[in-house]
Amino acid sequence: MTLLWIPLLSLIGSVISACTGKLSRNLSTSLTALAPLVALGITLYHAPAVLAGETIRYSLAWIPSIGLDLSLRLDGLSLLFMFMILGIGLLVILYTRYYLSANDSMAKLYSYLMLFMTAMLGIVMSNNVIQLWLFWELTSISSFLLISFWWHKSEARKGARMALAVTGAGGLALLAGLMLLGDIVGSYDLDVILASKAIIQSHDLYEVALVLVLLGAFTKSAQFPFHFWLPHAMAAPTPVSAYLHSATMVKAGIFLLARFYPALAGTETWFILVGLTGLTTLLFGAYIALFKHDLKGLLAYSTISHLGLITLLLGLDTELATVAAIFHIINHATFKASLFMAVGIIDHETGTRDMRKLNGMWRFLPYTATLAMVAAASMAGVPLLNGFLSKEMFFAETLHQQVLGSMSWLIPVLATIAGAFSVAYSARFIHDVFFNGDPIDLPRTPHEPPRYMRVPIEILVVICLLVGMFPHFMVGGILSAASSAVLGKAMPDYEVALWHGFNLPLLMSAMAVAGGLFIYINRKYLFQFQASLPPLNAKKTFERAVLSTISWCQLKISHIENGSLQRYLVVMLGVVLLCAGWPLFEMQELAGAMPRTPVDVHNAIGASLLIIGAIATVIWHRSRVVALLMISIVGLMVSVAFTRFSAPDLALTQLTVEVATVILLMLALFFLPQYTPKESSSLRILRDLSIASTLGVVVASICYALLTRPLNSISDFFIANAKTGGGGTNVVNVILVDFRGFDTLGEITVLGIAALGIFKVLSRIPLYMPASDGEGRPWARERHPILLANISHSLLPLALLVSAYIFLRGHNLPGGGFIAGLVTSIAFILQYMAHGSSWINERFGVNYRKIIASGIGIALFTGVGSWFFDKPFLTTWFDYFDIPFIGKTELASAIVFDLGVYLTVVGATLMILASLGNMTADTQRKEVNI
């Protein structure tokens, strides 16, 4: 449980520090530092057990159904990284306090830093690979926020975008790789994956998974050819560069390699891919670093080179190489973070990082200079410093490997050359900045920074020295714990010590130092040569790639999305055609085994009427009133078809809806043109006709195939249980109000929403009121014919009686809330037509929105009501009672639910029709009660 608190604390710290914007800088810093301090305490508390070889685990079920647990582990490797993340994090927090100017929001930077810390802790502590990936992405996002901290600078924004694009793309590859691994092993649990080396490496997809995981690691750790984002990430504030882009985040890729070492390493592919990538990066970074005039640029390429070194070590096929890799992770983090902080001080004090201007800083900043020189010497691999030890181990291991077969001797040679370059750029860093004459027009005259700004550097440099001189005492324990976690067994017998006698690695070190100094002294010629090469600007290339991708996408989008709805519809219908038509070709036989029903004369007449109506609608579609009449024939025939095929409920519903639809469309024609102009070209009509007929044929074929195949329905359950479980004999209605009552509740809600939407769309509409019909005839002066008015008077009570009857019998005989609601609505619409809306509003004055709301409310509360009887939502209750004069009667809660349906249907239908009708009636728009 205490394990969970480590990432949780830093997450809480992120929130806390975000709130410290109004407080003093010191208070803000102290509050921010609190969480990592406690987390470090917890880590230290667990350290003895882990150093003794134990792995502490903690797990919390999260989404067990997809194998995702919140699962943490703490082993030697995690412990090492946690020390770095929390320790250097604390130093960076202190350093930031003095680094940031008063104009920058310190709370924001702290909050991002803590968020990043959470993500990083999450990566190193995850015991579930998907969870690991989530935190991995979180580091990319927090790194994006941190690089773009000075968002007003274009280079910061571009650098941040580039970093996010590269590491984000790698993250996706990693996700794919991890999912493959999970699939191969059958679990996303890290313990299981790490223990399944044999299964993974014998699997066909091992190479694919390996490459995907490596892509993730290499992009994050800025390995060649994905290195280019790191120098541009230097647009971030220097504490961020020190923390993310040298000490921790770029090591996440290395961590990943180390973490999956037990499962993925050991094959030829691994050694070739990891080793060669590392070697290339090592050489490339070391070479380019020498030519960078920007101090942070030099350090960035140096970081790339050192990351390459660690990668190379992990790709060498000896066990001690892995130990050396871990050792170098520690050493690089200490000397590089301190160098970045020193550069931050120089930048802060002089206002520039250009080495052509910065000279002779020794006189101005003697104290900082000493610290920086020690760290730089460690970077170069000078004895008595930690960098020397791991580099020496590195040299020794290059001599023992067999990665390149007979050409393996190349690796130590190239390693020595890279070492020489690293000495050269370290020498340049020291000599150019602190000596080499006088500064050239500096923006500010430098002097020593505040006392506490140097403290983080001092601590790190002291660690460099102590580790360099007493390696076994300082890091022996953690090194052995971390190595055994990576290797999966105890660390090979090896003594990290300062002195191993006169041997080949020592000679290589000496050659590297001598060669480096030689390169530095003769740098003039190298610089000239480098300047004669064509310039390679990664940022411009990247930006160009981004821009061309965007414009290519825009071009493609404009091809598809040109703003024409007709065109979208054609595309969509085409997709429908493909999806629906394709399976037909795979079907052996269209007709199924069911015996056909013979065609009788009634059906033939009905079908021909339907077809004639449909085709007539199309033919006369430009004359809209005629088309409306034609389509109403179709609607009528559909309801006749429902009657014929034993579906009286449907027939009633269709009939009433048909009436409402025709009234609605008639009303609509009042506001719309009554004739459609002839616009479509013949070609367009041909295209549309072919799409329409093909789709018709496809649907007809599917329908025929469906109709001629035997039915295997689940309806027997409903038929068997309608009476006993739902208390009704009309199975359709019982399904609606009981079995599938929840669906019905959703449906009446949609109905209500549609009606409200219509009400909203119609409000404040700029009315277009035609004074005449489409042929120029004025409207009839008699708006409400007396005959209709009188008949409708007497019809209303009758219609309401019918509707009540249909409603009440609905549970047992065809009918129910939907149909009754529609009948009632039509009865009222007739009144509207006969008398006009003002007449209705005077007499009834109902608010249809309230009716809809009460309908949905009643239905909902009927459902909720069953909770009071410890039953699931919408459980029906019914029983039989003897009521005087009426006899034995069934009372069911379903009828209350059906009442809700009824009210919603009435409210929605009337609201739709009345709000439209109201506008035709009142030419001067009055506030009408809808």
Partner 1 sequence: MELLYASCVGVLVSCGVFLLLRARTFPVVLGLTMISYAVNLFLFSAGRLTINKAVVLGTGADYADPLPQALVLTAIVIGFAMTAFVVILAIRGRADLGSDHVDGHLVKNSAESKEQK
Task: Map the footprint of partner 1 across residues 729-768, applying CB under 8 A.
Answer: 729-732, 735-736, 740, 743-744, 747, 750-751, 754-755, 757-758, 761-762, 765-768
Read off the DSSP letter of residue 128.
Answer: B
Stretch that binds partner 1, among 69-77, 272-280, 721-729, 782-790 (CB under 8 A): 721-729
The residues in 416-445 that bind partner 1, with binding defined as CB under 8 A, are none
Q: Smaller CB distance to partner 1: residue 129 or 627?
A: 627
Binding mask 15-44 for partner 1 (x = CB under 8 A): ------------------------------
The residues in 812-831 that bind partner 1, with binding defined as CB under 8 A, are 812-814, 818, 822
H/E stretch holding 813 reads none
Query: Is 216 strand, coil or helix?
Result: helix
Listed residue (375, 379, 521) closest to 436, CA to CA? 521
Q: Smaller CB distance to partner 1: residue 366 or 770?
A: 770
* Residue 873 neighbours by CB distance under 10 Å: 14
The residues in 217-256 that bind partner 1, with binding defined as CB under 8 A, are none
Q: Smaller CB distance to partner 1: residue 534 or 563?
A: 563
Query: Is 447 strand, coil or helix?
Result: coil
Least Cβ distance, residue 669 to partner 1 (angstroms)? 7
Stretch that binds partner 1, among 116-124, 246-254, 336-344, 640-648 (CB under 8 A): 640-648
Give the separation between CA 23 and CA 913, rounded to whole angstroms. Answer: 61
Report strand pairing: 878-883 vs 68-74: unpaired
Give the tokens for residue 748: 């009446």
Least Cβ distance, residue 893 to partner 1 (angstroms)? 19
Please report whether residue 633 would count as binding partner 1 according to CB under 8 A. no
Q: Smaller CB distance to partner 1: residue 477 or 581?
A: 581
Taking CB atoms within 8 Å and a gap of at least 24, the contacts of 17-26 are 17/107, 17/110, 17/111, 17/113, 17/114, 18/107, 18/108, 18/110, 18/111, 19/107, 20/106, 20/107, 20/110, 21/105, 21/106, 21/107, 21/108, 25/97, 25/106, 26/97
DSSP 476-529: HHHHHHHHHHHHSSPPPS----S---S-HHHHHHHHHHHHHHHHHHTHHHHHHH
Give the separation between CA 609 and CA 632, rounded to whole angstroms. Answer: 11
Least Cβ distance, residue 882 to partner 1 (angstroms)? 21
Please report whether residue 644 would count as binding partner 1 according to CB under 8 A. yes
Please report whether residue 922 would count as binding partner 1 according to CB under 8 A. no
Q: Smaller CB distance to partner 1: residue 768 or 869?
A: 768
The residues in 648-707 that bind partner 1, with binding defined as CB under 8 A, are 648-650, 653-654, 657, 660-661, 664-665, 668-669, 671-673, 676-677, 679-680, 688-689, 691-693, 695-697, 699-704, 706-707
Least Cβ distance, residue 577 to partner 1 (angstroms)? 10
Please report whether residue 642 would count as binding partner 1 according to CB under 8 A. yes
The phi and psi torsions of 765 (rounded to 5 degrees) equal -80, 135
The residues in 566-625 that bind partner 1, with binding defined as CB under 8 A, are 566, 569-570, 573, 594, 596-600, 603-604, 607, 610-611, 614-615, 617-618, 621-622, 624
Listed residue (839, 842, 834, 831) closest to 910, CA to CA? 831
Give the tokens for residue 472: 């076994």
Largest CA distance in the chain: 122
Q: Smaller CB distance to partner 1: residue 225 or 696?
A: 696
Cβ-proximal residues to 557 (8 Å cutoff; 6+ apart), any chain: none
Give the separation between CA 816 and CA 804, rounded to whole angstroms. Answer: 9
Q: Smaller CB distance to partner 1: residue 494 or 620?
A: 620
Cβ-proximal residues to 645 (8 Å cutoff; 6+ apart), any chain: none
Q: How far apart, in Å, are the Cα atoms of 631 and each of 612, 616, 618, 680?
A: 10, 8, 9, 22
Least Cβ distance, residue 866 to partner 1 (angstroms)? 21
Least Cβ distance, residue 873 to partner 1 (angstroms)? 18
Please report whether residue 713 would count as binding partner 1 according to CB under 8 A. yes
Applying CB under 8 A, among 645, 844, 861, 880 the residue interacting with partner 1 is: 645
DSSP 204-229: TTHHHHHHHHHHHHHHHTT-TTSTTH
Read off the DSSP letter of residue 867.
Answer: G
Q: How far apart, in Å, are the Cα atoms of 737 and each of 146, 217, 854, 855?
A: 57, 57, 17, 14
Q: Smaller CB distance to partner 1: residue 692 or 883?
A: 692
Q: Smaller CB distance to partner 1: residue 443 or 598?
A: 598
Give the separation between CA 694 and CA 682, rounded to whole angstroms. Answer: 18
Q: Smaller CB distance to partner 1: residue 30 or 812?
A: 812
Least Cβ distance, residue 799 to partner 1 (angstroms)? 19
Please report whether residue 883 would count as binding partner 1 according to CB under 8 A. no
Please report whether residue 325 would count as binding partner 1 according to CB under 8 A. no
H/E stretch holding 292 reads none
762 in Cβ contact with 919 (< 8 Å): yes
Read off the DSSP letter of residue 354.
Answer: B
* Residue 529 neighbours by CB distance under 10 Å: 10
Please report whether residue 405 would count as binding partner 1 according to CB under 8 A. no
Q: With contacts defined by CB under 8 A, how many residues of the chain interact with partner 1?
A: 114
Listed residue (162, 192, 166) closest to 178, CA to CA? 192
Please report whether residue 631 would count as binding partner 1 according to CB under 8 A. yes
Stretch that binds partner 1, among 183-191, 266-274, 393-401, 716-724 (CB under 8 A): 716-724
Q: Smaller CB distance to partner 1: residue 751 or 834?
A: 751
Q: Smaller CB distance to partner 1: residue 354 or 773?
A: 773
Written as one letter, the residue type at 844 is F
Binding mask 885-914 for partner 1 (x = CB under 8 A): --------------------x--xx--x--
Binding mask 533-572 for partner 1 (x = CB under 8 A): -----------------------------xxxxx--xx--
Least Cβ distance, residue 912 to partner 1 (angstroms)? 5
Least Cβ distance, residue 719 to partner 1 (angstroms)? 5
Stretch that binds partner 1, among 197-205, 229-237, 365-373, 630-638 (CB under 8 A): 630-638
Written as one letter, the residue type at 840 is I
Written as one letter, the residue type at 215 is L
Give the tokens for residue 99: 């680094």
